[in-house]
Amino acid sequence: MALEAIRAILDVDTGVDDAMAIALAVAAPTIDLVALTTVAGNVELEHTTRNTLRVLDFVGASHIPVYQGMSRPIDRPLFTASHIHGSDGLGGADIPESSRSVEAISAPQFLIDAARQSPGELTFIFVGPLTNLAVAVALEPELPRLVKRLVIMGGAFRMPGNTTATAEFNIFADPMAAAQVLAAGFDATWVGLDVTTKAVFARAQWDALETATAPNAQIVRKAGAQMFLTFNRPVFQLHDPLAVAVAADPTLVDAPEEAVMIETGGDYAAGQTIIQRPGREEGWATKVAKTVDAPRFGTFFTATLGLS
């Protein structure tokens, strides 16, 4: 069945899998990528913005504007994942500098302006901490009604976290932002570790790209190097690319509506994403991806990026 065309804004904390998500969103024929917004997360904001600009330029998308957002979470110090993504965020990947700059207005203000200009038309795809969106909602509480759909890479709903025993990185990095976005009432789909850990790119697939010259293949090759060569992982988890793919094709996941709560404090469980038991009153109704058609996602990823 043909996919419906969407107009999307992608919010990133670029990051190795964010880099691949950017390439995927640019290349996907049914995604009209209006703009990117950047946030601090995997590394500091100056790096996530720098990486976003150079990845866009590298894949031939210098025309897509970039809006820089928040440099730290709502109510806690910045917590990065530079031990995974490297101090520059891309594991030292050799990607040329961009000569262009970010736009003059901030990411939260841009999100509001864009949604007001095209009410009901835009899909927001968020693959970093949710700080920019929480700030935007605080400034414009009607934002959830102005946006068509929100797809979030975040959460560990029915499994342990990847940052603490209970929390996934994007939610742990700014639990207050995530809780505020959850409560805001978007038509949201949460694409958490439950499904993204099943969306993997194997070492053999990465090895096969050694002599690839096309920019999309080179982004996957360069951004994947840290995971495969430094950490010697057998597979690379395509967290953020899966969220982009779900924005383009919602049928890739089964995402039933659940009542969800997010732990914003506590000594041990900050950032935990909790599915409420049936019949209880607490919790916000939202869609949570439960299963993924991983082979079909794999085909979407490789075919869209021209890897096979």
Name the residues that contact Ca ion, by CB under 5 A: 13, 15, 18, 127-128, 240
Least CB distance to ligand BDR at residue 227 (A) = 11
Would you say 274 and 263 are in contact if contact means Cβ atoms under 8 Å apart?
yes
Question: Closer CB to ligand BDR, residue 18 or residue 249?
Answer: 18
Triad 291, 293, 299: Cα angle to 5°: 150
Least CB distance to Ca ion at residue 259 (A) = 26
Is the Cα dihedral 154, 13, 56, 102 positive or negative?
positive
- Between CA 305 and CA 120 the distance in angstroms is 29
How is residue 167 annotated by DSSP? B
Question: Closer CB to Ca ion, residue 144 or residue 154?
Answer: 154
Question: Closer CB to Ca ion, residue 173 or residue 259?
Answer: 173
Least CB distance to ligand BDR at residue 159 (A) = 12
Question: Closer CB to ligand BDR, residue 157 or residue 169?
Answer: 169
Q: Of 47, 57, 174, 239, which one is the catalytic site residue?
A: 239
Binding at 169: pick from ligand BDR, Ca ion, none (beta carbon under 5-8 Å per type): ligand BDR
Contact residues for ligand BDR, defined by CB under 6 A? 15, 17-18, 42, 81, 127-128, 153, 162, 168-170, 239-240
Order of strands, sheet of 273-275, starting from the edge strand that comes earlier in the sequence: 66-68, 31-38, 6-12, 122-126, 149-153, 188-191, 284-288, 257-262, 273-275
Q: Which residue is nearest to ligand BDR (CB)?
A: 169
Over 254-306, what HEC string results?
ECCEEEEEECCCCCCCCCEEEECCCCCCCCEEEEECCEECHHHHHHHHHHHCC
13 carries an active-site annotation: yes
Least CB distance to ligand BDR at residue 281 (A) = 30
94 carries an active-site annotation: no
Is the Cα dihedral 245, 248, 252, 256 positive or negative?
positive
Binding at 168: pick from Ca ion, ligand BDR, none (beta carbon under 5-8 Å per type): ligand BDR
Kindly list the catalytic residues. 13, 239
